[in-house]
Amino acid sequence: MSFDRSIKIAPSILSADFANFGQEIRAIEDQGADWVHVDVMDGHFVPNLTFGPPAVKAFRPHVKTVMDVHLMIAPVDPYIAAYAEAGADVITAHVEAGPHPHRTLQAIRAAGCKAGLALNPGTPASSVEYLLDMVDLVCLMTVNPGFGGQKFIHSQVEKVKQLRRMIGTRPVHIQIDGGVDPTTAPLVADAGADVLVAGSAVFKGGSVERPEVYGQNIRAIREAAQGR
C-alpha cells in the first residue's frame, strides 16, 4: 500500500446488499473502487450495530484492493488485534473513543496495520496535532457517525483545510466520511482531502446484476473531485 495524494474512492459496504457482500465487493472493485470501507459500529459509541471480526474475516477474501476498517467502537483497544487478524489493511479508531489515542495508534501499528484516527464533527483538528507523526490517515466525519445517508455538514470543510496545513509534507491521507457525493466531493478535495468514503452515493440505483451503475456513480464522484 504505497502513498500518494491522488483521489481515492472508498465505497462503504454499509450501503451494500447484506445478502451478497462477496459479490458486492467484487462488483465495486471491478467498477473502479480504490479501497473498500468497512464501518464497524457497536451500539454504544454510535447508535447502530454492524460488523464483528468474523464478518470482516469473511469479507477479506473478496477484497483485492485495500480493506479500510473504521472502528466506531469504545473501548477500542481490546479489539484491535481481532480486526487486524481478520485482515484489515487500515484500522481507524476515533480520537474520542478512549483517553490514550497514542497508545491506540501504537497497538494498531504493532498489529501490522496502517493506523488512522477519526474525528467527529464537534472535535477540533488540533486534537490530532501531536499525533500526526504516528498516523497514516486522519478521517474527518462530515456527518455524525452511526447511520448512512445523512446530509453533509458544511462546517467541516474548514477543518479539512486546517488539517491539511497541519499535515504539511507528512505522508498522511485525509479521508472524508459522510455525505460524499458529486456535489460535496469537490469541496473537500479542493480543501485537501484525498480519500472519499461514499455509501449511498455509490450504491444507489445499482446491484450485482447492474454493476455498471456503481461504475457510473464512482466515476461521477471522482471526476467531480478532480474538477473535470
Q: Is residue 213 within 8 Å of 6, Cβ to Cβ?
A: no
| Number of residues that this document lists for the chain | 228
Annotated active-site residue 181? The verdict is no
Catalytic residue among 77, 89, 177, 194: 177
Return the closest-CA partner of residue 201 out of 214, 187, 188: 214
Residue 139, exposed/middle/buried by CB under 10 A (0-12, 13-18, 19+)?
buried
Whole-angstrom distance, CA of residue 52 vs CA of residue 157: 31
CB 221 within 8 A of CB 38: no
Which entry of 34, 39, 77, 136 is annotated as an active-site residue? 39
Only one residue has cell 489515542, namely: 101
Annotated catalytic, 194?
A: no
What is the H or E stretch that residue 195 is in? strand 195-198
Peptide bond preceding 75: is omega within 30 degrees of 0, i.e. cis? yes
Distances (CA, A) of 212 to 26, 173, 184: 12, 28, 22
Nearest to 76 by CA among 39, 104, 116: 104
Phi-psi region of 192 (alpha: psi -120 to 50; beta: other; left: phi over 0): left
Cell numbers describing residue 2: 504505497
Active-site residues: which are they? 39, 177
